[in-house]
Structures are given as C-alpha cells and as structure tokens.
Amino acid sequence: MALPLLSYTPVSQNQRVAGYEVPGDEQPRIYTTENILFGTDLDELIEAAYRQIFFHAFAWDRERFLESQLRNGQLTVRDFIRGLLLSKTFYNSFYEKNSNYRFVEQCVQRVLGRDVYNEREKIAWSIVVATKGIKGFVDELLNSEEYLTNFGYDTVPYQRRRVLPGRRQGERPFNIKSPRYDGYYRAQLGFPQIIWQNEVRRFVPQDKQAKAGDPTNFLDMARGVNAQPNPLPRVSAQNIDYMSRVPKR
C-alpha cells in the first residue's frame, strides 16, 4: 500500500519571492514549444533538456526514439522530460550511484528547478521512491501543482531565479553544487585525480607555432651537434728543408 506524501513546510527560497529582475548572464533562457519558429529551435530545446537532466549527453546517452516523437508532435516536452528521467542513463548515473535522499535532492533540483526546502521534504519524497518506485516518484513530481504551474506541458525545466540582487554572484548551478556521483563513488572511480608533472609546459598560440620548414624546428638538433675543429699541425724549425725551398736558377 502506497503511503501518502508527507507534509513539509516550504521556506522562503529565492524562487518563491517575487521581485524585479534586470536580465543578465545568469538569467536562464526559457525553452518552450510555444514560440518555435524554425527547426533549429527544436534542436536547441532538445539540447537544453539534455543539459537540464543529464548535464551532458554523449551519443550513447541520447534517446533517439523520444526525440523523434517530440519532433513529430507525438510527445509534449513534459513527456520528453519524463522519458529522460526514466531512461537507463539516468538510472545508472544517478539512482544507482546515490542514496535515496541524494537522488531526491537531484531530481527536485532538475525537475522543479529549486533546492529542497529541508530534510523533511527529502524524507517525504524518499518514502515515495521506496513505496512507488522511480516511475511513481517521477510521475508525482511531474504531476505536482508546482511543476505544472511553473513549466506546464511545453517548457523545459530550468533553475528558477538564480540572480540574487544582494550578492555579487548568483546561486551556483545545480550540476556544480550537486555532482552526479556521490563522494563514495567518486573515490571508487579515482576522482579527483592528482597528477604531478616535473616539467613546466608553456602554452604557445597556434599562430605563433613553428610551421614546417621553420629553422627553429632544427635549433635543438643544431645545438646537439658536437663539431670538432681540425687540429693545427705542429711545425718545428728542425723539420723544414730549406735547401728544397730555395728556387733554382
């Protein structure tokens, strides 16, 4: 029997406070199918969905069948997000490599576009994961009033209101604040790796690199040649035949 979602108290996070914002670099770009004019706009929307859910999708991670359905109008953006959350890549990279609490935190960040309010919200959604599974948990998030009010059926989720007027910098992106792998699995995979190098490498711009046939390419070879000068013969006065050098008349 599935347990109902426990109640938790929302806190006054940045995205819950209305205010006047000046557009800047940290202002998220909204991708929606409501204002698509060209085919390339849909390509950018799909890439934005991959960045929001996976952060980066390799060729093996892409869901070609879902992309085709979205392009043909058979799926909404909300259904496409649901397919990415239930994909094998998301399961292997996020669910298997984290605890239920951390998995809930990452899903709330990527789907609802905000941080979790408190530990009680983590516990509430973790109970949903344990009783209804990942599919039931994803459906609960996508069917929530918060998701439908902010993103609806046609908008890719994004990190809401990263700009903080009282700070020099806004909030950090979720992929930096909450990496894909937990600390235990990062240690198992050998991250972070410390590489020591003895020689100092200098960066040379491409326009200043030596081309083929440049004499500077042979400078090291010329310096490595050990050229020995010809020895000077030692001449003694006793060895000179003066009589043979006198011209004959």
Maximum average pLDDT range among 51-65, 152-166, 176-190, 211-225: 51-65
C-beta contacts of 104-109 below 8 A and 24+ residues apart: 104/129, 104/137, 105/178, 106/174, 106/178, 106/180, 107/137, 107/138, 107/141, 108/141, 109/159, 109/174, 109/178
Interval 163-180 mean pLDDT: 73
Q: Residue 203 pLDDT more than 80? A: no
Q: What is the 3-state secondary structure (H, E, C) of 57-111?
A: CCCCCCCHHHHHHHHCCCCCHHHHHHHHHCCHHHHHHHHCCCCHHHHHHHHHHHH
Distances (CA, A) of 56 to 7, 78, 146, 175, 180: 34, 19, 26, 10, 11
Which tokens is 21 given?
């914002």
Interval 130-155 mean pLDDT: 93
Q: Which amino acid is at 84?
A: L
Q: pTM for the complete prediction?
A: 0.68
Which tokens is 189 given?
């995979």
Smallest Cα–Cα separation from 178: which of 105, 100, 82, 84? 105
C-alpha span between 144 and 161 (Å, rounded):
20
**Domains of the chain as residue ranges with CATH:** 24-188 (1.10.3130.20)
pLDDT tens per residue, range 34-50:
887 677 788 999 999 99
Planar angle of CA 147, 148, 152, nearest 5 degrees: 110
C-alpha span between 214 and 209 (Å, rounded):
10
With residue 128 as reference, give the H or E element that holds it. Answer: helix 119-142
- The rounded mean pLDDT for the chain is 82
Give the pLDDT of residue 112: 93
Give the pLDDT of residue 189: 64
In the chain, % helix, strand, coil (3-state, to 5) comes to: 50, 0, 50
pLDDT tens per residue, range 10-26:
887 777 777 666 666 66
With residue 134 as reference, give the H or E element that holds it. Answer: helix 119-142
Of 98-102, 176-180, 198-202, least confident by mean pLDDT is 198-202
- Locus of tokens 């999708």: 57
Distances (CA, A) of 121 to 5, 201, 207: 9, 49, 55
Give the pLDDT of residue 64: 92
Q: Following CA atoms 149, 151, 152, 156 in sequence, which dihedral angle do they give, to the nearest 10 degrees?
A: -170
pLDDT tens per residue, range 50-78:
999 988 888 888 999 999 999 998 999 99
Give the pLDDT of residue 154: 92
Confidence bin at 196 (pLDDT 50/70/90)? low
Which one has a higher pLDDT value, 81 or 186? Answer: 81
Planar angle of CA 5, 9, 10, nearest 5 degrees: 105
In the DSSP assignment, the letter for residue 18 is -
pLDDT tens per residue, range 106-135:
999 999 998 899 899 999 999 999 999 999
